[in-house]
Amino acid sequence: MTALFPALTAPSGRPALRFGADTLTYEELARAAGALAPRLRTAGRVAVWATPTAETAVGVVAALLAGVPAVPLNPRIGERELAHILGDSAPGTVLAGAGDTLPPGLAELPRTDVETRAAPGTPLRPEPDDAEAPALVVYTSGTTGPPKGVVLSRRALAASLDALADAWEWTDADVLVHGLPLFHVHGLVLGVLGPLRRGGEVRHLGGFSVEGVAKELGEAGGTMLFGVPTMYHRLAEALPGDPALARSLAEARLLVSGSAALPVHDHERIRAATGRTVIERYGMTETLMNTSVPVGSAARPGSVGLPLGGVELRLAEEDGSVLGADAHDGETVGEIQVRGPNLFSAYLNRPDATAAAFTEDGWFRTGDMAVREADGYVRIVGRKATDLIKSGGYKIGAGEIENALLDHPGVREAAVTGAPDPDLGERIVAWVVPADPDAPPAAEALAAHVAAQLAPHKRPREVRFLAALPRNDMGKVLKKALREPSGD
Ligand code: MCA
Ligand code: AMP
């Protein structure tokens, strides 16, 4: 296969990466990643301490150049989740910035510090050309159990990024602005590898802020913005009092939202204040990107658009029967199933889960429920699994939080649900039966416990104490009864 990063084979002095004051040109990136890559060749897999820094971008590019799969880690990862990922992916080394302090478990691994400045003259070896070779292992939550490692090949990365380039007319002239975390597909694959594959620039904000977007988009050069709906919600909230922000958004070429549904209300507020339509695209860690509203098409809030080039998409009913074009009526709901070069290779060490994720005829079951319009546009209407929560664009399994809560000495029983939230889309609610009804643990202590075991974004934002969990005759917790207002 051709190089993942053609712009690195004859690197120019054009900017490639900007993280705050830290800017790297393509020449500097080629030198830094070229110097690091040979040191990674025998590592098996490399963990990447995925801080929002140039070190992370250089480390991942070096791993890709070396043909060694990279496993990005949330730098706020908790103890239990880290132990699982390290046990599952068995990295031979961990890439980190020279100043980073690594937590126990990771600190004992051989460490490779990423230098973003290498001496000139480091020769860049050709990229490995096996398209099916694993490039990344990205962990994603399921309904129960610990997260699964999604193995993504070089072929999948290239196919998905090129399909997006076609849909979005994305070129080397684009300057992408975002503040997404770099341990998931959205921020890392679309947000860093995307611009680098095009030969364009990424400006990372270090973390999302309304001020950062206002400063970098538009006049300052940023042409595209990527964000999760929570970020667009925060922009929509700020717009009425911030004419400079409205100008920046209005001047951008493309505003793209993904990872969860962007509420129509936020779409409309942004359109009213800026005259610009946010484009939605739909993807998944396992599939990378499946659909997008094509650039330049009429606004259709609530729609995730059409299948991208190379992606086949169908809707299937509960019994497996596939909905025909006559059911593309904007009303008939089915599960989205997809096929194409954008798909993952397997769940790491989980042949059972990999097999279960596909239909007998080889289509990936997304678990997302949708309708199609007569012209093929897809509208997502819900999710098959109620135990998957999307909060701030992060997918979080109710089961992993319940297990973490049950480890707390003050908890006898626990159930976790997602409640609608104007900012986060859904917020995590923990329903807890305390071990001692007269001395329930503090809600903050339970949130801190989950944050320390799993990750801060998995912490419950609300804790409700109950004398008992509602259960059916089989003893199964009735989550529906928990979600309805209980009057407590
Ligand atoms: C608060 N904090 C705590 C605690 N409470 N830390 C430890 N223990 C606690 N008890 C800290 C947090 O770590 C954080 O620190 C700060 O307080 C604020 O936290 P929080 O309130 O959780 O942040 P937020 O404001 O709610 O975050 C909103 C967000 C974030 C910025 C939108 O949710 C986000 O970045 N989402 C992006 C998710 C994403 O990229 N998903 C893509 C996956 P500090 O501020 O210092 O960090 S989906 C995907 O990849 C597919 C393919 C797709 O389609 O895109
Ligand atoms: P993840 O597993 O973190 O990669 O999240 C993938 C899930 O995010 C999908 O299965 C969808 O449920 C959801 N998702 C991603 N993009 C969108 C979107 N534009 N609209 C609605 N849901 C989305």
Question: What is the Å distance from ligand 2's center to 394 Cα?
Answer: 9
Helices (H), 102-228: 154-168, 185, 194-198, 210-216
Instruction: Give me the mean pLDDT over the 342-360 stretch.
Output: 98
Structural domain for 104, as ranges: 6-171
Instruction: Give me the mean pLDDT over the 126-141 stretch.
Output: 94
Within a domain: 212: no
Residue that finishes a domain, picked among 171, 204, 226: 171
Burial of residue 481 (CB within 10 Å: 0-12, 13-18, 19+) is middle
Q: Among 336, 49, 67, which residue's Cα sits nearest to residue 188?
A: 49
Question: What is the Å distance from ligand 2's center to 70 Cα?
Answer: 22
Distances (CA, A) of 304 to 5, 115, 370, 439: 28, 40, 10, 48
Using a 6 Å cutoff on CB, does residue 259 contact ligand 2?
yes
Question: What is the Å distance from ligand 1's center to 392 Cα?
Answer: 7
DSSP letter for 408, please.
S
> For residue 183, which ligand has an atom nearest its CA?
1
Within a domain: 284: no
Whole-number CA gyration radius for the chain: 22
Phi, psi of 43 (to 5 degrees): -80, -15
The CATH number assigned to the domain holding 82 equals 3.40.50.12780
Instruction: Give me the mean pLDDT over the 237-260 stretch.
Output: 97
Q: How many residues does the chain have?
A: 488
Q: Which of 129 and 26 is assigned the larger pLDDT?
A: 26
Cβ atoms of residues 91 and 105 within 8 Å: no
The CATH number assigned to the domain holding 398 equals 3.30.300.30
Using a 6 Å cutoff on CB, does residue 395 contact ligand 2?
yes
Question: What is the Å distance from ligand 2's center to 282 Cα?
Answer: 6
The structure tokens 């602005």 sit at 177
CA dihedral (57, 62, 63, 65) in degrees, to 10, reads: 130
Pocket of ligand 1 from Cβ distances under 6 Å: 76, 180-181, 184-187, 207-208, 228, 230-231, 258-259, 283-285, 392-394, 447-448, 451, 456-457, 459
pLDDT band at 487 (very low <50, low <70, confident <90, very high): very low
pLDDT at 123 over 90: no
Question: What is the Å distance from ligand 1's center to 144 Cα?
Answer: 21
Q: How many CB atoms lie within 10 A of CB 423?
A: 13
Using a 6 Å cutoff on CB, does residue 366 contact ligand 2?
yes
Residue ID of nearest Cα to ligand 1 atom 33: 392
pLDDT band at 217 (very low <50, low <70, confident <90, very high): very high
pLDDT band at 121 (very low <50, low <70, confident <90, very high): confident
pLDDT tens-place string over residues 38-66: 999 999 999 999 999 999 999 999 999 99
Buried b (16+ CB within 10 A) or exposed e, 46-63: bbbbbbbbbbbbbbbbbb
For residue 39, the number of C-alpha atoms closer than 13 Å in the C-beta half-sphere is 17
Task: For residues 364 and 301, give the distance between their C-alpha atoms in angstroms, rounded to a whole number.
Answer: 26
Q: What is the residue-wise DSSP string for 23-62? A: EEEHHHHHHHHHHHHHHHTTSSSEEEE--SSHHHHHHHHH
Whole-number average pLDDT of the chain: 96
Hey, what amino acid is at 310? G
Question: Looking at ligand 1, which atom is closest to the CA of residue 228?
Answer: 37
pLDDT band at 485 (very low <50, low <70, confident <90, very high): low
Cβ atoms of residues 308 and 290 within 8 Å: yes
Instruction: Give me the mean pLDDT over the 21-25 stretch.
Output: 95
pLDDT tens-place string over residues 426-438: 999 999 999 999 9
Using a 6 Å cutoff on CB, does residue 383 contact ligand 2?
yes
Residue ID of nearest Cα to ligand 2 atom 9: 284
Within a domain: 380: no
Cβ atoms of residues 429 and 419 within 8 Å: yes
Which pair of structure tokens corresponds to residue 220?
A: 């300052």
pLDDT tens-place string over residues 158-167: 999 999 999 9
Within a domain: 337: no
pLDDT band at 488 (very low <50, low <70, confident <90, very high): very low
Burial of residue 260 (CB within 10 Å: 0-12, 13-18, 19+) is buried
Residue that finishes a domain, picked among 148, 171, 194: 171
pLDDT at 466 over 80: yes
Instruction: Give me the mean pLDDT over the 301-322 stretch.
Output: 96
Residue that finishes a domain, picked among 110, 140, 171: 171
pLDDT at 200 over 60: yes
Within a domain: 365: no
Within a domain: 350: no
Residue ID of nearest Cα to ligand 1 atom 13: 456
pLDDT band at 477 (very low <50, low <70, confident <90, very high): very high
pTM to 2 decimals? Answer: 0.97
Within a domain: 155: yes
Task: For residues 35 and 130, give the distance between their C-alpha atoms in angstroms, rounded to a whole number.
Answer: 21
Within a domain: 136: yes
Question: What is the Å distance from ligand 1's center to 196 Cα?
Answer: 25
Domain total of the chain: 2
Task: For residues 108 and 110, give the distance between their C-alpha atoms in angstroms, rounded to a whole number.
Answer: 7
> For a pocket test of ligand 1, which of 138, 164, 230 has the largest count of ligand atoms closer than 8 A to its C-beta?
230
